Structure 1
Amino acid sequence: MNSTLIKKTFFIILLTSYYTTISAQSQHVLWYKQPADFFEESLVLGNGKMGATVFGGANSDKIYLNDITLWSGEPVNANMNPEAYKNIPAIREALKNENYKLAEELNKKVQGKNSESYAPLGTLEINNSDKGKAVNYHRELDISNAISKVSYEIAGIKYTREYFVSAPDQIMVIKLKADYKGALNFDINLKSLLKSNAEVRNNILIMTGSAPIHENPGYAVLPKYLDVKERGTRFTTLVQIKKTDGKITSSRESLSLKDATEAIIYVSVATSFNGFDKNPATEGLDDITLALQNMSKAFAKPFDKLKESHIADYQKFFNRVNLDLGKTTAPDLPTDERLLRYSEGKEDKNLEILYFNYGRYLLISSSRTLGVPANLQGIWNPYLNPPWSSNYTMNINLEENYWLAENTNLSEMHLPLLSFIKNLSVTGKITAKSFYGVNEGWASAHNSDIWAMTNPVGQFGKEDPSWACWPLSGAWLSTHIWEHYIFTQDKNYLKTEGYPIMKGASQFFLGWLVTDKNGNLITSPSTSPENKYITPDGFIGATMYGGTADLAMIRECFDKTIKASKILNIDANFRIKLETALAKLHPYQIGKKGNLQEWYFDWEDEEPKHRHQSQLFGLFPGDQITPLKTPDLAEASKKTLEIKGDETTGWSKGWRINLWARLWDGNRAYKMFRELLRYVDPDGKKTEKPRRGGGTYPNLFDAHPPFQIDGNFGGAAAVAEMLVQSDENEIRLLPALPDAWSEGSVSGICARGGFEIEMNWNNKKPERVIVSSKNGGKTTLIFGNKRQEIVLKKGEKLEVTF
């Protein structure tokens, strides 16, 4: 062989090796060489109602089961503190006299009960009779088809398992297989942390039980609630085995399969929850019948049919968006090792894509039940007493869960939140009157739960106003209604559902605002979520008037309600009221440090690097502050972020990445995005040098810590925000593209106005852009200083080159 041929052959081998590495470095598969020992290593599946957390153990597999509708409690008594509003004039008077200490104490009188708690349904265990040492172990979750797999060998026999949770069939399916005849021998049992009973009837393992009826905290007093009849949400779990060979046997509480080669386990769950305003015990759904119906329908179908319809249903959402960030030289590693390597500062563009794709996967898997949005943990909660009750925290967390819904083409997944806001507007009418003395519109506060609780929390005066007393979530939530409309152009939704809710939120704030000494409109009392000020005389408190965050959210709420009324051509007189009030709102203030003030006065923060940055709401998710339209306020926002610093975690870091993206600083946004993906050890893992703090767990769950899903959603949303930004009139391409992503392509990203973008870029410049319109319309496409106006008909596409 001559030297030229040798060189060519060597080059081809090198090239093949290089591209094999690239293709093997997955954008859609999480995989591991060992089973999960901890929740933060497990792989999660869900159909938007049922959640499954799979550990994948070889000799013994454990699967946590959840149902998004299983919560403690029952319909809320919104009128729980009917005379709370009578304290408002005294609080306002104290604030007018600058007596902040008195205002703080009085504000505690405007509190109600705490939220209810999201409950764990149970644990399914599959125990192998023939135990042994597993070798060649592999565990994965493929988020391109929402299927998890486990494979391993024991004593020369290969075992495989395949798991998915189907939305079309409302069932969990587990297929077990051995490559040696009769080698499958296992038993199955169910247990729950809740009051429950498990038994086998007709070869079906049945677990029934009920959730407690009281709020969290307080599980220490659980026993006194257990015997309360006709109270609380019931649940049913059914497990059935379909075999190809072997023999099914059972004991009183477990199912067994002996001498089989292949088997399919079906898991069906249901609860009696029947809506936020229905008693789940006396007016609830028949959970046993529901679970049985879903089981019998699914059991009659072949495995391949169930799998096929599951994949088709899932992929119609997941496949809408495709992201590529150019060449990668990262090696093919298990996901936990990959994350560790990335944490050391190494390049792994496909891990960044995987994280983005995983955010979309989690939303599809946890948000498909009307009236019941994804909670603080999506739908995956193993704890009787979950962190922060795994509730709906509405001063950022619930909203951040949905930042990626519209722009990453998952509009349908937004509907559980939008329908939940409608429920809040019902209980919120009573809250507006009884807690705040406002007779028009609706109000909601800091926390909520499945029962659409809207009152300020705090256990009737026991807790800190800094987080307990905040009536502004209705303003923030109402902007999600506008977002859904402006992305989808669904005028019918805006008219019949959305606008009346937006109007109700605006009506409340018209009644809540008061005039300050300068003739401007402000809120009183006010707090800035979870932060505290220091007055010049040294008092540290939360209760004040005219907080920047309040006014930013009201500004956004009024602005979007005005726009909606113009589009629908209704409520002209009400619109004038809003326009008048909008013009009189106390304006943004820039403090002595060049920052955007959080407080009415230029006070110091008790904690300058505080995790919340609510005063920057107008920059993101709002659109009042931009580098072009309001350069002074944008610069003050930047200064605020610099003072706060980058060292924050979870949802807070997710928010800051989006804020830097809106300031068009792609490299700063990317720096923090990388920090969000810092490897963190599972909470319970004991190692010599544990990696703790904020970042990402081995299963890519967000480590706040503990796990909170909003960091995943905020981080994924930020990727889209770095690539495309839009408002009602323009679409800005690559506004915050970091140097690290100098080449790439994306398709399926949505823009306001009902547009969809497909583009590829090189040297940080778009080369080919295709814009399509869902309903027809016009917009201005912008890249740098280049602008191009486009007008499209419904369904029309246009290719643009820059």
Structure 2
Amino acid sequence: MAQPVQKLWYKTPAKVWTAALPVGNGRLGAMIFGGVNEELLQLNEGTLWSGGPVRTNVNPNAYSNLLLARKALFEEEDYSKANEYAKGMQGYYSESYFPLGDLKISQKFKDAQPSAYYRDLNIQDAVATTRFTIDGVTYTRQVISSAPDQVIVVRLTADKPGQLSLKLKTQNPYKYTNVVISNSEIAMKGKAPSHIDPNYVRTANGPITEADTAGCRGMRYQLRLKAVNTGGTVTADTSGVNIANATEVMIYLSAATSFNGFDKCPDSQGKDENKIASDYLNAAIKKSWPVLYKSHVADFHHYFDRVKFNLAVPADNTVAGLPMNERLISYAEGAKDPQLETLYFQYGRYLLVSCSRPEGGGVNSNLQGIWNKEIRPPWSSNYTTNINAQMNYWPAEVTNLSELHLPFIRFIKNAAVTGKTTAAQFYHTGGWAVHHNSDIWALSNPVGDIGNGDPMWANWTMGSPWLSQHLWWHYEFTHDKKFLKETAYPLMKGAAEFCIDFLVEDKNGYLVTAPSLSPENAFIDDKGKKGVVSIATTMDMEIIWDLFTNLIDASKELNEDTAFRNLIIAKRAKLFPLHIGKKGNLQEWYKDWEDVDPHHRHVSHLFGLYPGREISPITTPAFAAASKKTLEMRGDAGTGWSLAWKINFWARLLDGNHAYKMLRDILHLTGEAGTKYANGGGSYVNLFDAHPPFQIDGNFGSLSGMSEMLLQSHLGDISLLPALPDAWSEGSISGLKARGNFEIGMKWKNKKLQTATLKSIAGGTCVLRTVDPVKIAGVKISSKKTQNGYISTFTTQKGKTYTVSALQYLK
């Protein structure tokens, strides 16, 4: 099966932001609308945020309120009172991701009605194209965001000479100044505010605080635009750049901020954004389009081409050739479209490559990747660490994009610095602590503006142990011992030290967390009262179990720190255990309470199923059955990212058909005004995840879930096709990664594995789990049949590729 061309295409321009098409190089992003008379590129620079380094000693009363909250919980069982004390433990809100601005390209035509209109996003080459014909002239616009050259380039051409007359204008929805650099170049300069309140906060003094005069809050930024014309003339003034009668125009966009690190004042200690932006621009304009394009495509292919995914296409398939809006409607109405599903898989990888790069000075992906048009974006477009920030990176390792995990790991390192202060000042503990929200400044305190936040989300405490999971994952998939020893292990140990100090004994001698939340959910207590703050919520205990287990394994890998390992083993044995409730579900709370919202979008207490490894049908069938019951009670409905999480849950329960149902649900079209597809969670017409509004974590969570359907490696073995749905009865995939640093390729037919390839990058023992018995060419294997399939164990050599064949296809 040949890999189909991976494109999103349309017959009309985008009318709304969620129909525009994204490009990005990890730092510079653009949303392209494809207008005819006026093209709009909405622009972003990944480091452009409000605010400055986090402040310390923001709530001297936090620890005393912690003690009062524990007294209310343990001695009085007064959850309402505990909730009020939790409010007294809050610090300040996070900062907000800030838009760079807009580029408007205005073209005036005698005949404004185009024919043969076409726009697309080619996700294989990371290029967006708009094409239309007016009065016998075909106009083409191509846009790339180049990582090698750190610029966005727009190429405009006409197929007849002298037909390009246009005006280029840059603007920002906030305050800015345009400056003329030359007769073909302008610079837009501005400064982000000192603080922007979250979009859900209403304050008497207004939500935006101007940049301070001390230079420690308020980041400078600059956008540079230069037009290079073939034919015609170009002039510039403060209103923009004017081009007349050209045949080709190259627009180079460069941008930079004064951001100099999470702990540096962005103004007084900031980088020279003028020099950075101008240096990138001056280097890029020396290169022609073919040179820029070739370099850009080669760089993008370095990441994107690692994974190929194909599914058999039905003989009567007619929907694959439709424009994306029509294609999604057909899919929502039940059409089979396996190529849409593989496109969606690769689109997730495209987005991750486009918004999270280890090079170029970019930072980790936020709630919207790097794409945001709002001064006050939804939820500040921040790093929401009670699932969303982590979900962005669930697919990084398994889909062979380990390097793209590194910006998130850098953020974790920064959060451990501020988190050490938070742990000491708020809890009087060692280690480091992170809460529900963070930002580019690595905010780690409980948010809420000193008592104005709802503890349901503001006071969640388990950020550092959950973030630490990603450190262990990066080691598991890469087997980079240096990274484990110098980076992962010390950070994981610091998170464990916080947990050890934060845990307290309950009346039965179990170690519990208190106060404890199950993110954004609420219970009805024994007295019939609504509550959110309690003791030892299941998610808390699962996250700590996960951290302790990973840390034990890490210590064994390094063969060091035995005393601390033994301490962790002893502490893990005393953790409050999982419980099955009276309805057969996995208990979410300390007691078997009812939920205020039985269909709540968070299913936090299934962390141990995914992304954790405490629960599995193979190792803990009773708890797996209780997890399944929980999902049935919660129902399949949900917001975009919640649907994505459920794909992962059902895949881990080895139910491929239900996982596939959730995939179809998240690919359900939404946001189409004037149609029955106007509302709800799912996917916008540009395949962005709809919370709603847009959150990119649903795209990444779906990609992770699809990968889990095909490959799992969290239980110490490599399980091939563990949750294959009936709809994917025939297909192939190559380039997926398994723990142990194995690269996997598979072909299957009639839902049965035919052959697989396994490249052992690091060497060592490999344990394969398959439904049917297999043979490995030229290798002696130890094979045994179990209740859950066949286990084949063999020793691999570093760098060697092995061929796995299903015995039934060798007969």
Q: Normalising by the residue count of structure 1, what TM-score does the alignment of the two structures yield?
A: 0.95
| Residue pair 2:167, 2:241 contacting (<8 A) in 1 also | yes
* Pairing 1:151–2:137 present: no
* CA displacement 1:565-610 (0-9 Å, x = unmatched): 1111221111111010001101100000000000011011111111
**Given that residues 78 and 454 in structure 1 are in contact (C-alpha distance below 8 angstroms), is that contact kept between their aligned partners in structure 2?**
no
- Cα shift at 1:194: 2.3
CA deviation string 1:91-132 (max 9, x = no partner):
111111211121111111110111100001100000013352
What's the secondary structure of 1:294's corresponding residue? helix
> Structure 1 stretch 173-182 or stretch 688-697: which is displaced more?
688-697
Partners of 2:717 and 2:794 in 1: CA distance: 10
Aligned to 2:195, what secondary structure does the other structure show? coil
Q: How does 1:229-308 map to 2 (within 5 A)?
A: 230=215, 231-308=217-294
The partner residue of 1:109 within 63, 88, 100 is 88
Unaligned runs of 5+ in 2: 772-788, 807-811
Question: Is the 1:200–1:255 contact (alpha carbons within 8 Å) kept by the matching residues of 2?
Answer: no
Closer/same/farther in 2, CA of residues 51 and 538 from structure 1, 3 Å limit: same
Partner deviation per Cα, 1:339-398 (whole Å, 9 max, x = no partner): 110000110000000100000000000011567210000000001110000011000100
Does residue 323 of the first structure (1) align with residue 309 of the second (2)?
Answer: yes
Residue aligned with 2:396, SS: helix
Separation (CA, whole Å) in 2 of partners of 1:496 and 1:318: 29
The match for 2:59 among 78, 81, 84 is 81
| C-alpha distance in 1 between matches for 2:465 and 2:166 | 54
Summarize the alignment of residues 609-620 of structure 1 with structure 2, pairs less than 5 Å apart: 609-620=599-610
Native 8 Å contact 2:586 2:626 kept in 1: yes
Percent of aligned pairs sharing the same letter: 49
State how far apart, in whole Å, the 2-side matches of 1:342 and 1:688 are. Answer: 15
Following the alignment from structure 1 to structure 2, what is the Cα–Cα distance between the partners of residues 268 and 482? 36
Where 2:254 maps in the other structure, the secondary structure is strand
Partner in structure 1 of residue 44 of structure 2: 66
Mapped pair 1:753 → 2:740: yes
* Paired AA for residue 635 in structure 1: A
The answer to whether the aligner puts 1:355 opposite 2:336 as a matched pair is no
How far apart, in 1, do the equivalents of 2:476 and 2:677 lie? 46
For 1:252 and 1:607, locate their aligned partners in 2 and report how far apart those are by CA, in whole Å.
55
Contact 1:31 1:334 in 2 (8 A): yes
Equivalent in the alignment of 1:35? 13
Q: Does 1:137 align with 2:123?
A: no
Q: Distance in 1 between matches of 2:383 and 2:675?
A: 36
Partner in structure 2 of residue 642 of structure 1: 632
1:225 lines up with 2:216 in the alignment: no
Corresponding residue of 2:783: none
Does the aligned pair in 1 maintain the 2:194–2:212 contact within 8 Å? no
* Map of 1:94 onto structure 2: 72
Residue of 682, 685, 701 corresponding to 1:695: 682
State the match for 1:393 in structure 2.
Answer: 384
1:214 aligned partner, one-letter code? H
> Is the CA contact 2:193–2:210 (under 8 Å) kept in the aligned structure 1?
yes
Q: CA deviation at 1:437?
A: 1.8
User: What is the total number of aligned residue pairs between the two structures?
Assistant: 776
State the Cα distance separating 1:46 from its structure 2 match.
0.2
2:596 pairs with 591, 600, 606, which one?
606
Partner deviation per Cα, 1:740-771 (whole Å, 9 max, x = no partner): 00010000010011111011001111101110
Counterparts of 1:52-63 in structure 2 under 5 Å?
52-63=30-41
Contact 2:735 2:744 in 1 (8 A): yes
| Residue in structure 1 matched with residue 717 of structure 2 by the alignment | 730
- Whether the 8 Å contact between 1:745 and 1:759 is mirrored in structure 2 is yes
Of 480-489 and 253-262, the range deviating more from structure 2: 253-262
- Indicate conservation of the 8 Å contact 2:344/2:687, yes or no: yes
| Cα drift, residue 690 of structure 1 | 5.3
Which residue identity does 2:726 align to in structure 1?
D
- Per the TM alignment, residue 27 of structure 1 is displaced from its structure 2 partner at its CA by 5.2
Distance in 1 of aligned mates of 2:304 and 2:579: 43
* Runs of 4+ residues deviating >4 angstroms: none
The CA deviation string for residues 768-798 of structure 1, in whole angstroms up to 9 with x for no partner, is 1110111111121111222211221111111
Residues 338-353 of structure 1 mapped to structure 2, 5 A cutoff: 338-353=327-342
Q: Counterpart amino acid of 2:495?
A: A
> What is the aligned partner in structure 1 of residue 426 from structure 2?
435
Quote the Cα distance in structure 2 between the aligned partners of 1:27 and 1:115. Answer: 41
Deviation at 1:26, TM superposition (A): 4.8
Q: Is the contact between residue 205 and residue 253 of structure 1 (CA under 8 Å) also seen in structure 2? A: no
- Of residues 109-118 and 243-252 in structure 1, the stretch that sits farther from structure 2 once superposed is 243-252
1:383 paired to 2:374: yes
1:48-81 CA-to-partner distances (Å, cap 9, x unmatched) read 0011110011111000010110001000013311
> Partners of 2:571 and 2:207 in 1: how far apart?
49
The 3-state SS of whatever aligns with 2:423 is: helix
Instruction: Give the RMSD, CA atoms, in angstroms.
Output: 1.5
How far is the alpha carbon of 1:699 from its aligned partner?
0.4
Q: Is the 8 A contact 1:114 1:215 kept in 2?
A: no
Give the CA deviation at 1:323. Answer: 0.3
Retained in 2: the 8 A contact 1:69–1:372? yes
Structure 1 pair 371–598 and aligned structure 2 pair: CA distance change class (3 A):
farther
Contact (CA 8 Å) 1:55, 1:62: kept in 2 or not?
A: yes
- Counterpart CA distance in 2 for 1:195 and 1:600 is 50
1:215 aligns with 2:215: no
Larger helix proportion of the pair: 1
Structure 1, residues 537-587: CA drift from partner, whole Å, max 9, x if none? 111111101111000000001110111111112211111110100011011
1:626 deviates by 0.7
The SS at the match of 2:196 is coil
The equivalent residue for 2:566 is: 576
2:444 to 454, 460, 468: 454
- CA 39–70 in structure 1, closer or farther in 2 if over 3 Å, else same: same
**Aligned partners of 2:458, 2:714: CA distance in 1, in Å?**
33
- 2:474 aligned with 1:481, yes or no? no
Q: Is the 8 A contact 1:165 1:172 kept in 2?
A: yes
Pairing 1:526-605 to 2, within 5 Å after superposition: 526-605=516-595
Distance 1:223-1:471 versus aligned 2 partners, 3 A rule:
closer
Tell whether 2:515 aligns with 1:525. yes
> Does 1:797 pair with 2:807?
no
DSSP 3-state at the match of 2:277: helix
Contact kept? 1:727, 1:753, Cα under 8 Å: no
1:167 aligns with 2:156: no
- Whether the aligned pair in 2 keeps the contact of 1:371 and 1:418 (CA below 8 Å) is no
CA contact 1:121–1:194 (8 Å) conserved in 2: no
Does structure 1 retain, via aligned residues, the 8 Å contact 2:195–2:211?
no
Q: Secondary structure at the match of 2:499?
A: helix
Match of 2:775 in 1: none
Letter in structure 2 aligned against 1:162: Q
Instruction: Write out per-residue CA displacement over residues 617-665 of structure 1, whole angstroms, 9 at most, x where no aligned residue.
Output: 0100001111011000000000000000001121111001100000000
Is the Cα–Cα contact under 8 Å of residues 78 and 455 in structure 1 kept in the other structure? Answer: no
- Is it true that 1:200 corresponds to 2:190 in the alignment? no
Aligned counterparts of 2:211 and 2:220: Cα–Cα separation in 1: 12
Check if 1:186 corresponds to 2:166.
Answer: yes
- What is the match of residue 780 of structure 1? 767
> What CA distance in whole angstroms lies between the structure 1 residues aligned with 2:727 and 2:323?
23
Counterpart of 2:713, as a letter, is S
Choose from 407, 430, 436 the match for 1:416.
Answer: 407
Residue of structure 2 equivalent to 1:15: none
Distance in 2 (alpha carbons) for counterparts of 1:413 and 1:224: 34
In 2, Cα distance between equivalents of 1:395 and 1:556: 15
Asked if 1:177 is matched to 2:157, the reply is yes
8 Å contact 1:562–1:575 — kept in the other structure? yes
Task: Give 2:275's aligned amino acid.
Answer: T
Find the counterpart in structure 2 of residue 673 from structure 1: 663
Q: Are the equivalent residues in 1 in contact too, given 2:731–2:748 (CA < 8 A)?
A: yes
Assess, with a 3 A threshold, how the Cα gap between structure 1 residues 371 and 139 changes in structure 2: closer, same or farther: closer
